[in-house]
Amino acid sequence: MNVNILTTPPLALKMLIRKADTHKGMYGNVAIIGGAPGMIGAALLAGRAALHLGAGRVHIGLLKSKIAVDFMQPELMMNSPQRLINNDLITHLLIGPGLSQSRKAKYLISESLNSSKSLIIDADGLNIIANNSKLQRTLKHRQAETIITPHPAEAARLLNCELANIQSNRQSAVIQLFKTYQCGVILKGHNTLIMASGDIIHQNTSGNSALSNAGQGDVLGGIILSLWAQGLSLINASCSGVFLHGQAADLWRTHNANRIGLTASQVIELAKSALNNFILPTID
């Protein structure tokens, strides 16, 4: 198995430089499904990340909420989850941030898996699948491009093993996840591993312990969703998103050495800076 060490994002990221005559419809029409009561912030973080990393239109489908607008980010469009899954204009879907494991959440996972949309599955979306053999089979045989983004504990549930087994051999774990579910895999953690084909594992080198707090996975999902919908391949969007997310924390640490307190909300702006500095570096 070949291992590609990521010390920079893929050069394909530079294809996101925009020509003069373009419009929002050319940069992705994406949706985030999640945000059960008590966890609405997770879906909003993912949506804000997708918006700031360049997606043309970003929709949010909250499971149960009277929120009609995100006053901190009014560009986000609110709708019901089912309508978003059924909306043919939406091509890329992220399900899982703040989803919960309710009956409605399980129904929405099933509907998403049976849709023709490019799909990212995270958080409780993965926990639901781990406990349902029918959904596991649906994921394995899904025709549209799909990527799962487990942290080590979620990976252990998906493989029905102990957490120690995942952490003792992370490369073996990401290979097993890829083979078991027949889709792209991002195994999060220190030196995140990415796999979307059977012959290469990509290992990230950016990031640090400042990312050890709530909401970071939601932001990462939104970043990858945005880059993917703007035209990058699944593997280039995944590698770029993981690298930029880590680099955001590295940028923060350059001014806050060994300090704590970096929030997921702050990472969004830092990741946007990392993206723009890579595709259009300033000349001193």
**High-pLDDT (> 90) share of the chain, %:** 93
Mean pLDDT (whole number) for 21-27: 92
Q: Which amino acid belongs to residue 56?
A: G
Mean pLDDT (whole number) for 246-256: 95
pLDDT of residue 283: 52
pLDDT of residue 198: 85
Q: Which of 20, 13, 56, 7 is CA-nearest to residue 279? A: 13
| 60, 44 Cβ separation under 8 angstroms | yes
Q: How many H helices and E strands in the chain?
A: 11, 10
| 105, 63 Cβ separation under 8 angstroms | yes
Domain edges within the chain = 2-8+25-279
- Annotated binding residue 79: no
Quickly state the pLDDT bin for 253 (edges 50, 70, 90).
very high
Task: Determine the distance from the C-alpha atom of residue 21 to the mean position of all C-alpha atoms in its chain, rounded to a whole number.
Answer: 29
- Annotated binding residue 218: yes
Mean pLDDT (whole number) for 101-108: 97
**Least confident piece of the model among 45-49, 68-72, 113-117, 183-187:** 68-72
- Annotated binding residue 191: yes
- Annotated binding residue 190: yes
29 — phi, psi (to 5°)?
-125, 100
**High-pLDDT (> 70) share of the chain, %:** 99
- Nearby residues of 283 by Cβ (< 8 Å), 6 or more positions away: none
The tokens describing 189, both together, are 């953690």
Q: Is the pLDDT of residue 1 over 90?
A: no
Q: Is the pLDDT of residue 284 over 50?
A: no
- Annotated binding residue 202: no
Mean pLDDT (whole number) for 217-244: 98
DSSP calls for 236-256: HHHHHHHHHHHHHHHHHHHHS
Q: Is the pLDDT of residue 257 over 50?
A: yes
Mean pLDDT (whole number) for 113-126: 98
pLDDT of residue 282: 67
Where b means 16+ CB within 10 Å and e means fewer, 52-86 reads bbbbbbbbbbbbeeeeeebeebeebebeebeebbe
Mean pLDDT of the chain: 96
Q: Which of 143, 141, 145, 174 is CA-nearest to residue 158? A: 174
CATH class of 2-8+25-279: alpha beta
pLDDT of residue 66: 81
- Annotated binding residue 221: no
Residues 120-162 have pLDDT tens digits of 999 999 999 999 999 999 999 999 999 999 999 999 999 999 9
What does the alpha-carbon distance between residue 27 and residue 160 come to, in Å, rounded to a whole number? 38
Residues 172-204 have pLDDT tens digits of 999 999 999 999 999 999 999 999 998 999 999
- Annotated binding residue 255: no
Residues 63-73 have pLDDT tens digits of 987 888 999 99
- Annotated binding residue 189: yes
**Least confident piece of the model among 42-56, 117-131, 246-260:** 246-260
